[in-house]
Structure 1
Amino acid sequence: MKPATAAKKLGVYLEATPAEFREGVVTREEFNALQADPPEWLRELRRDGPHPRPVVAAKLGVSISGLARGGVTDALTTEQIEALKQESPEWLRRERATQAEVRKEAVRLKEKRAEKVEKAEERS
């Protein structure tokens, strides 16, 4: 697979990976080995970053779109993410609240669909 795909699946920022990873092709066996027994560079990237936007968004509890609305467009390190959490700027509080509402709505819709399925099964 392409290095970008492998980096995405591993949850790391491609540009922060070693050159030999970025310039080569990652076989399925190599990928499985990276997951099963991550080398030091991979453990370090996962721990300290820089992290790709999906990971930053997850760590902050917001959506990727929320990051963009907040002006965060680059990869951030764990230290930068923790600093943002401590600062708790208005945009972050607002985006976390929005994300909480989105999650509540998703649960509500899931329960509603489950009810419909249950009623349909009872009628059958």
Structure 2
Amino acid sequence: MLWRIKNFKGVGTAEIDIRPGKATVLTGVNSSGKSSIIQSLLLIAQSLQNENRVVLNGPLVRLGDAQDLVREGAEQGAIELGIGLEEATGEDGAKAEGLQAVFDLVPADDRSTLRARSVGQ
């Protein structure tokens, strides 16, 4: 299972393996995005409790304003957060296609929340 983020805070793109039972270690120099990767996971975790709403400031993480979360210089002006299941091979040798869910988020008009980008934007 892969966690993918794009244009979140200082992170251009990142992909980490979050399969259950697998240890993941984040290393890097200061300001390389380690905390931002963790914050992106916490953002989704605290938002799962609220239907149709991305909770920027909740019990798990406080991220401030939505406009501050989109990486400076991002071409689309949006954050992409996604999780994907890789293609798998069963015991019979049959391949199952991978699944992926990607959320394309942009600051809302009030600049304090994120909303899903409308199709065609």
Quickly name the TM-score band, shorter chain normalised: under 0.3
Of structures 1 and 2, the one scoring higher in RCO (CA 8 A, sep 6+) is 2
What is the TM-score normalised by the length of structure 2? 0.25
Report the TM-score when normalising by structure 1.
Answer: 0.25
Q: Write 1 or 2 for the structure with the bigger share of helix.
A: 1
- Computing the radius of gyration from Cα coordinates, the structure with the larger value is 1
